[in-house]
Amino acid sequence: MKYSSHVAVVTGAGSGIGQALTQALVADGARVAACDIDEAGLAATAASCAPGQVSSYRLDVADRDAVLGCAEAVRRDLGPASMVFNNAGVDLISTVADTTWDDLDWLLGIINGTKAFLPQLCESGTQDRPARLINISSAFGLIAVPSQSAYSTSKFAVRGFTEALRQEMIIDRRPVTVHCVHPGVVRTNFSANARVSEHDPDAERTRKLGDRAALTTPEKAARLILRGVEKNRGRILIGADGRIAAALPRILGSRSTDIVAHAARLASSRLDRRSPKTAP
């Protein structure tokens, strides 16, 4: 029971990777503060775990005041957090031209979670047993793709923010390890819940491509995340597509951008050919 002394906070715990992380942490003894805007999903997650090990908190991570209030509630109910998984994420399928300012504000809840819980992590960690902060970025935080401009913006930002914080914790000798996770496409309801621009004629096609590209189960992603945290890896890659996204810019440099564009156009053309024709 390697996490029996830990209080772990998991956002986006009502489904997908967040649900799988909650289940894995509880199985190894952690007490989990499961957070999500979806109350039905939270209830299902709690019901799937050992009784008494999950405390549920309805939370919109884009609401800064709500996140700060949640951090206070977790401290009051369970004690200071020693592991925080900023997993809750949203997708936006839209071109740069069609993306609104509100869309951009909607995408960066991870910063709220980090700022709200970092003081607790610094308090609960020791040099022998450091606290853990895990921010979920994306393969699209390593390489950009068309119709995901705002989403890539947020995930590149998460990557820079998290890597800078890891350096600061090392420089200040804080007992907190910081990890940035880059999953490829995981089999969740993520694409189904994406916000889609009504002005982008290719947006729905992009959603379908994402659904078909899902290679990794949430359970496998959770196992790989926890393994990477235990090995103190600053960057954790999930899935073959996550590893490819990390490799392409290193191998091809700026040419990788054009290659991704050509690959996306080819995949889109194939999807059009396979789609059933409708009568005029």
Instruction: Give the catalytic positions in this structure.
Output: 151
In sequence order, the 6+-apart residues with CB closer than 8 A to the CB of 263 are none
Residues 6+ apart with CB under 8 A from 271: 205, 208, 209, 212
Cα–Cα dist 13/71, whole Å = 15
d(CA 145, CA 249): 13
CA distance 171 to 163: 13
Burial of 57 per CB tally in 10 Å (0-12, 13-18, 19+): buried
Nearest CA among 117, 18, 122, 133 for reference residue 83: 133
Q: Are 188 and 144 in contact (CB under 8 A)?
A: no
Query: Is 26:54 a contact under the CB 8 Å cutoff?
Result: yes
> What's the rounded Cα separation, in Å, for the pair 85 and 114?
9
